């Protein structure tokens, strides 16, 4: 049975480049076991089996240093520990990728929702929204609050927001009636008790709509909502929450899209 293989044969058999095999040789990761009288270096079947392990370990991103230790001096228990650590790393990466995918899906959903509901009005139950008002407006503390909100696994779609005071719709005056905030949505009521330090917005009946602004929320930007409320003699029973959900930029002009819930009787 043949037990001598030249570097070209091993390269073709394992699907790795000759340069890679030479690197493993030079760096003492795995050297050919046989040196012939002609000076040629030959790999044995055992070498090829070891190389297959090296390649597999590289595919799961085990470091060259760790592989060298594994190939040259490693017990089963030590190898098991290396693989357990790598498995844990992969699990963490999977969780992170799932979070990223969820973020992408949420952004995509918000865009689709904006296209569908822009300036349209519907009466709905509100989601459970927790928020913290920014008494001093947006400053460096804002991002600390944002980070805090993002640290809660059960608080979703954290974003800049505004709280529109109930009185605004009576006097139609922005000044002192709109406060910046950070908000997030809770989809499972089991977690409500963990957020008692923040204000909670949850109403069974709300006016729901999406509108656009260029810089800030103005009387004009939500005039259509006031007309609807006045025209239908609707009673507002609390402050509203308006969440910045997406934006677009055309010709160097930014437009923000705001989703609003107005609690009504």
pLDDT averaged over every residue in the chain = 90
Q: Per-residue pLDDT averaged across 247-252, rounded?
A: 89
Are 104 and 191 contained in the same domain? no
Cα–Cα distance measured from residue 105 to residue 132, given in angstroms and rounded to the nearest whole number: 25
The pLDDT tens digits for 54-73 are: 999 999 999 999 999 998 88
Contact 216, 180 (CB under 8 A): no
- Half-sphere exposure (CA, 13 Å, Cβ side) for 116? 8
* Residue after which a domain boundary falls, among 57, 74, 91: 74
Are 54 and 138 contained in the same domain? no
* Residue after which a domain boundary falls, among 17, 42, 74: 74
Contact 121, 207 (CB under 8 A): yes
Where residue 192 sits, what CATH number does that domain have?
Answer: 3.20.80
In this predicted structure, what is the pLDDT of residue 7? Answer: 93
Domain count, the chain: 3
* Token pair of 90 as six digits: 């992969």
Are 248 and 158 contained in the same domain? yes
In this predicted structure, what is the pLDDT of residue 195? Answer: 86
Of 256, 250, 264, the residue nearest 161 (C-alpha): 256
Judge whether residue 212 has pLDDT over 90.
yes
Are 86 and 125 contained in the same domain? no
The pLDDT tens digits for 110-147 are: 999 999 999 999 999 999 999 999 877 767 778 888 89
The pLDDT tens digits for 19-40 are: 999 999 999 999 999 988 888 8
Are 142 and 184 contained in the same domain? yes
* DSSP 8-state symbol, 233: T
Are 105 and 175 contained in the same domain? no
Are 165 and 189 contained in the same domain? yes
Give the pLDDT band of residue 258 (cuts 50, 70, 90).
Answer: very high
The pLDDT tens digits for 147-192 are: 999 888 888 999 999 999 998 888 766 677 889 999 999 988 777 8
Cα–Cα distance measured from residue 48 to residue 39, given in angstroms and rounded to the nearest whole number: 20
In this predicted structure, what is the pLDDT of residue 218? Answer: 79
In this predicted structure, what is the pLDDT of residue 201? Answer: 95
Q: Residue 45's CB: how many other CB atoms inside 10 A?
A: 13
* Residue after which a domain boundary falls, among 117, 147, 169: 117
Q: Which of 85-94, 134-143, 224-233 has the lowest mean pLDDT?
A: 134-143
* Token pair of 228 as six digits: 């609807």
Q: Are strands 206-213 and 122-124 parallel, antiparallel or unpaired?
A: antiparallel
Are 129 and 159 contained in the same domain? yes
In this predicted structure, what is the pLDDT of residue 174? Answer: 67
Are 111 and 147 contained in the same domain? no
CB-based contacts of 30: which residues, under 8 Å, 6+ apart? 24, 47, 50, 51, 54, 71
Question: Which domain range does residue 251 map to?
Answer: 119-263
Are 248 and 157 contained in the same domain? yes
């Amino acid at each position: 049975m043949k037990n001598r293989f030249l570097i070209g044969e091993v390269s073709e058999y394992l699907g790795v480049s000759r340069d890679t095999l030479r690197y493993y040789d030079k760096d003492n990761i795995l050297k050919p076991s046989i040196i012939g009288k002609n000076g040629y270096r030959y790999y044995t079947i055992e070498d090829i089996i070891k190389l297959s392990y090296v390649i597999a370990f590289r595919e799961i991103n085990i470091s060259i240093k760790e592989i060298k230790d594994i190939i040259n001096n490693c017990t089963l228990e030590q190898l098991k520990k290396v693989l357990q650590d790598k498995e844990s790393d992969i699990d963490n990466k999977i969780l992170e990728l799932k979070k990223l995918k969820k973020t992408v899906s949420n952004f995509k959903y918000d865009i689709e929702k904006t296209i569908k509901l822009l300036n349209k009005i519907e009466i709905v139950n509100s989601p459970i929204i927790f928020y913290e008002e920014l008494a001093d407006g947006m400053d460096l503390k804002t991002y600390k609050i944002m980070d805090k909100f993002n640290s809660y696994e059960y608080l979703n779609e954290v974003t800049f927001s505004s709280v529109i005071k109930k009185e605004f719709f009576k006097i139609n005056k922005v000044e002192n009636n709109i406060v910046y905030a950070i908000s997030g949505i809770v989809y499972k009521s089991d977690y409500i008790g963990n957020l008692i330090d923040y204000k909670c917005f949850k109403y069974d009946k709300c006016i729901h709509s999406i509108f656009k602004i260029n810089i800030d929320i103005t009387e004009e930007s939500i005039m259509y909502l006031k007309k609807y409320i006045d025209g239908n003699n609707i009673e507002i029973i609390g402050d509203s929450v308006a969440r910045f959900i997406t934006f677009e930029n055309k010709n160097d002009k930014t437009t923000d899209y705001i989703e609003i819930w107005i609690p009504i009787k």
